[in-house]
Amino acid sequence: MNAPVRLESLGQLGGPVTAEPIVRFERVSRSFAARRGNAAVYALDDLSLEIPRGEIFGVIGRSGAGKSTLIRLINGLERPSNGRIIVDGVEIDALSERELRPVRRSIGMIFQHFNLLSSRTVFDNVALPLEVAGVRAAEIKARVEPLLDLVGLADKRNRYPSELSGGQKQRVGIARALATNPKILLGDEVTSALDPETTGQILALLADINRHLDVTIILITHEIPVIKEICHRVAVLEAGKLIETGRAFDVLTKPRHPTTSNFVRNVTGVELPADLARRLRPEPAPGHQAVLRITFTGSHATAPVISRLTSILGIDVNILAGRIDSIGGEPFGALLVSVPGEEVTRLATISALAALQLKGEVIGYVA
């Protein structure tokens, strides 16, 4: 793979990052008429949301949550039934189809299944949006060649999609989405067709593009690991409603809604060993140990928790399972430990954890 060019050479139009959101939904609903006199079906229901300029913003939800509708509203492929949508200061739902065309050129789209034209080479696939816009051949070449360097496909410029791997096809899709020098990239499940190693490479490429080109990236996904890896903020949708939004780190480590908790459990939690799970009981009994889940974030993620608890309380603390990871570069961790099950010891342990600015909760008891 060729070494990537300096991203700064591809320059992004639009100036420095500001506090003004680049996308804003104001009480947006999108409904569809139901058959046989039933009530209308709402793909989005009274949704208000702000997406900051220059960030990587994730939108997550199960199938039917409204993710695809949200992305199609941003680029004007669908119109809201109610509410306003402002993209880069323009109320796009008030524009005619003709007025929408220049707005769409400032919004690139990356697809789940690549959507490459099999009869066109890599170079020609990337050049397609520029050809449609009527750009001259010399300008197309000057734009496309650095993009192929950027995505590591300069040596594949004359290959056809059938000759490429899935990851290479997605790199072509990313280069094509950048061809018109957009301010926003929309990604629709961009890694769900890729293997884990290739997924990591594509996410690293997107993070680099965001960091150096100041392109706002909005990723639609059902995969929490994608949010965890590169998103600055996240919105969680359920049945067309926004149920939770905020910094990805905060939402993933301190989810407030049960749906979000279900999404993040396997990513930020610690799985109980099978033998322990079978023996865990909800109520204490004489001689039982209390099993605690300890969650620690930020600067506390690497603190010597066990030695501090032992020193403060003078008790034995046994480690049952644990993990240390990061979300968007910020560390977090979780431990499963057991301590003597007497009430006074349990309460003292939780109090000591709170004093150390850590969260502790009893999840059960074992003999």
Q: Please indicate whether residue 260 or residue 148 has the higher confidence score (pLDDT).
A: 148
Q: What CA–CA distance (Å, rounded) separates 233 from 366?
A: 39
Q: How far apart are CA 93 and CA 97, in angstroms?
A: 10
The model's pLDDT over 18-52, given as tens digits with 9 standing for 90+, comes to: 458 999 999 999 998 877 767 788 999 999 999 99
Helix 122-132 with 137-150: angle, nearest 10 deg: 130
Q: What is the mean pLDDT of the chain?
A: 87
List the beta strands (DSSP E) in 173-329. 184-188, 216-221, 233-238, 241-247, 289-297, 318-327
Is 160's pLDDT higher than 90? yes
Determine the Cα–Cα distance for residues 355 and 163; give it in Å rounded to an integer: 59
pLDDT digits (tens, 9 = 90+) for 94-148: 999 999 988 988 999 999 899 999 999 999 999 999 999 999 999 999 999 999 9
Residue 331 and residue 323: Cα distance in Å, rounded?
11
Q: For residue range 198-242, what is the model confidence (pLDDT) as tens digits?
A: 999 999 999 999 999 999 999 999 988 899 999 999 999 999 999
330: Cα separation from own chain's centroid: 15
Q: Does domain 274-366 have CATH number 1.10.645.10?
A: no
Block residue for tokens 């979300």: 327
Percent of the chain having pLDDT more than 70? Answer: 92
Whether the pLDDT of residue 298 is over 80: the answer is: no
Highest mean pLDDT (candidates 156-160, 193-197, 321-325, 328-332)? 156-160
- Of 230, 212, 126, 136, nearest to 173 by C-alpha is 126
- Which 3 state secondary structure label does DSSP give 273? coil
**Sorting pLDDT into bands at 50, 70 and 90, what band is 331?**
confident
Q: What is the spatial order of strands in the sheet that 56-60 belongs to?
A: 107-110, 184-188, 216-221, 56-60, 233-238, 241-247
The Cα–Cα gap between 234 and 228 comes to 10
Q: Give the per-residue pLDDT at 161.
A: 96
pLDDT at res. 322: 83
pLDDT value of residue 8: 42
**Beta-bridge mates of residue 286:** none
- Name the residue type at position 130: L
Taking a C-beta distance cutoff of 8 angstroms, is the pair 344, 281 a contact? no
Q: Which range has the top average pLDDT, 144-148, 221-225, 334-338, 348-352?
A: 144-148
Which one, of 187, 186, 182, 188, lies nearest residue 215 by Cα?
A: 182
Read off the pLDDT of each residue in 325-349 and give the average, rounded to a whole number.
Answer: 84
Domain ranges of the chain: 7-266, 274-366
Q: Is the pLDDT of residue 182 over 70?
A: yes
Question: Reduced to 3 states, what is the DSSP secondary structure of residue 148?
Answer: helix
Q: Which residues in 82-215 belong to E strands, given as ranges?
A: 82-87, 90-91, 107-110, 184-188
Q: Read off the tokens for 118.
A: 């099999």
What tens digit of pLDDT does each residue of 69-95 get?
999 999 999 999 999 999 999 999 899
At residue 255, the 3 state secondary structure works out as coil
Per-residue model confidence (pLDDT) at position 2: 41
Residue 344: pLDDT above 60?
A: yes
CA dist 247 and 358 (Å) reads 19
Beta carbons within 8 Å of 270's beta carbon, 6+ residues apart: 293, 321, 322, 323, 334, 335, 336
- The residue among 78, 92, 72, 117 whose CA lies nearest residue 24 is 92
- Spatial CA neighbour of 253 closest among 334, 367, 336, 344: 334
**What's the CATH code, domain 7-266?**
3.40.50.300
Higher pLDDT, 303 or 231: 231
Chain position carrying tokens 């739902």: 93
Within 10 angstroms of residue 7's Cβ, the number of other Cβ atoms is 17
Rounded Cα distance between 182 and 102, Å, is 11
CA distance 269 to 333: 8
**Cα atoms in the Cβ-side hemisphere of radius 13 Å centred on 337:** 23
* Cβ partners under 8 Å of residue 358, min gap 6: 294, 295, 296, 300, 303, 305
- Angle of helix 137-150 relative to helix 166-178, nearest 10 degrees? 130
